[in-house]
Amino acid sequence: METKTFTIANISCHHCANTIENELGELAGVSKVQADVETKKVTVSWDAPASLEKIMDTLKEIGYPADG
């Protein structure tokens, strides 16, 4: 299992955090998503078939591109 924490500058409210958690949580292989409005960080844990590239692409598609 891989885990990575992303910084997402445009998380501004709990709706943003819920959107990110729901969208990433639907990806096959993603087991945990935790978004924090205060720190603007999202931590994702996943196994194949999910990948870092798929997660980054999904964040970009839903309007929350990751800074790192």
Instruction: For residue 55, give both structure tokens.
Output: 């997660």
Q: What is the 3-state secondary structure (H, E, C) of 18-64?
A: HHHHHHHHCCCCEEEEEEECCCCEEEEEECCCCCHHHHHHHHHHCCC
Whole-model pTM: value is 0.93
Containing H/E element for 15? helix 14-25
For residue 67, the model assigns a pLDDT of 83
Domains of the chain: 2-61 (3.30.70.100)
Neighbours of 44 (CB within 10 A): 26
Residue 18's φ and ψ, nearest 5 degrees, are: -65, -40
For residue 68, the model assigns a pLDDT of 59
**Sequential pLDDT tens for the chain (68 residues):** 999 999 999 999 999 999 999 999 999 999 999 999 999 999 999 999 999 999 999 999 999 999 85
